[in-house]
Structure formats: C-alpha cells, structure tokens
Amino acid sequence: MSAALRALTQEQKQFFEEQGYLIVKGLFKPEELAEIETTFEDISHQTIPGYFEPKLNAEVTDPLTRYPRVMHPHRFNETAKRYMLHEPVLAILEDLYGEEAYAAQSMFYYKPPGSRGQALHQDNFYLQVEPGNCIAAWTAVDAADEENGGLLVVPKTNEYEIVCPDIADSKESFTTHYVKPPKEGKAMPAVMGKGDVLFFNGNLIHGSYRNKSKDRFRRAFICHYANQSATKISHYYKPLYRADGSEVILEDNTDGGPCGVEFENVYPH
C-alpha cells in the first residue's frame, strides 16, 4: 500500500503496536449505521436456528434470553456480509497487518438494559490464527460507555501470552471464561461514540461491563479477521473471505473453540 493510500498515520500504527488497540472515530457514516440498525432490528424479531435463538414470547428475567447475540450473521444476511467486508475497515486492517486481511467472523450484540457483561478474555484463544494473529473490529452502533456496558481493555497485554482461562462469575458475565490481567495491567473503559470502531489484537485482554442503564441499549457490530499469511484457524470460523467476497479455506487448527462460550447455551458457529 502506497503512503498516499494509507488509512492510518504512523502515530496511530505505533499506538496500536504498543498498546494493542486503537479507536478510529466516526469510521461508519450515519446512513451506514442506519442500515445496520434496520437490518438487526428485523433480525431481532426472528428465530434463525444456530445463529439467533431468542425467547420471543416467553416472560424472561434475563434480557439476554430475549436479545442474545447474533452469531455469524454474514452467513445468512447479505448486509452483514457487506459490512464485515467494509472497505474503510479492511484498509485499516491492511495497515495494521502490513498485508491483506481475511474476514473470519461477524457478530451483533444488542446488550439491552440490565444485561450481564462479558468477562475478560483473549480472542485468539478461540480463533487460533497461526502464524500471525486475529484482529477484532468492534463497531459502536450505539454510544458505549461505563453506564451502558461499554468495552474494557487492558492496555499493553497484546504481548501477553494466550493463557488458559479461569471460570467467570455467572452473575456478571454471560460467558464462562475469565482471564486475569497481569499484576501491572488494569482494565480501562474504551469510551466510544456511535460509528467509532475499536481495533484490537487477538492477545489483548478485554471484556465488558454489565449494562447498568435503565433505557439504553449498547448495540455493537463485531467482526474478526486474520492476516493473509495465516495458514491455520479454528474450524468454527471457516470459510474466511477476501475483500471481494470470495472464500478462503485455511487448515484446521484443532485447538480453537467457539468464541466466548455461554454459560447456558453454546451456539454453533
């Protein structure tokens, strides 16, 4: 990629390399966010076996049973696939990787008021991208902060080895795994505006707060990517996709697993 076409400044790239994450402000336009919102509002009233299985009519005490996350929407929805391959996102990933990025996974989180968060974890424990690493692109469809369950990151843990997780507190986390930060590491909130995108390294320890607000959803469209030179990935994330939508098949990495296993339900990937 020529200097004229670079998506990031040298300072931004250095920040990502040192801290393990980077927030890019306003990467999604209002009309793009509106299309994503409409798409997932429509999906929220459906049951899509294996991908989105809400309890639509039952009386529920856990908001996440009515609004669970949508797994791999790119596999059944063209709008989700198009935004997983969003050109501005892929351009930044190419800058971060120094080579083309392949799309591996998409998810959509509704996170209504009262929802539990997700305990601290590391993404490449699940994706098992080798050689190289996965990078997440976490798009704020709603503004995200400490009150409505925004993301937490532990800076500089991008160099921290992938570790076997402990069991999380099920009262606060809807997933079972918890990775304790190193002694010098402290989780800090990634405060984001609508349309901002947080990019982070697959080793970075991160998670989220409970949504403590009374009336604010914290919707997010989240995708994971692998570097072009990777040869292996967990089979849960196959096939991968190039920018033009064509499929890429990597070898199976048998050590991987579903991304953030739920306490009560394990969704097929």
Q: Which CATH number belongs to the domain containing residue 124 in this structure?
A: 2.60.120.620
262 part of a folded domain: no
**CA torsion, points 20, 25, 31, 32, in degrees to nearest 10?**
-10
134 part of a folded domain: yes
260 part of a folded domain: no
Using DSSP's 3-state secondary structure scheme, residue 240 falls into strand
What rounded mean pLDDT belongs to the chain? Answer: 92
How many domains does the chain fold into?
1
Using DSSP's 3-state secondary structure scheme, residue 73 falls into helix
pLDDT of residue 7: 87
Which amino acid, one-letter code, is at 244? D
CA–CA distance, 146 with 21 (Å, rounded to integer)? 18
Query: pLDDT band at 57, cuts 50/70/90?
Result: confident
Query: pLDDT band at 269, cuts 50/70/90?
Result: very low
257 part of a folded domain: no
Q: Give the range among 184-198, 221-235, 243-257 with minimum mean pLDDT.
A: 243-257
Query: pLDDT band at 59, cuts 50/70/90?
Result: confident
Domain assignment of residue 118, given as a range: 11-53+67-252
The 10s digit of each residue's pLDDT in 103-139 is 999 999 999 999 999 999 999 999 999 999 999 999 9
Distance of CA 109 to the CA centre of its chain: 9
CA–CA distance, 189 with 150 (Å, rounded to integer)? 7
Q: What is the mean pLDDT of residues 34-58?
A: 96
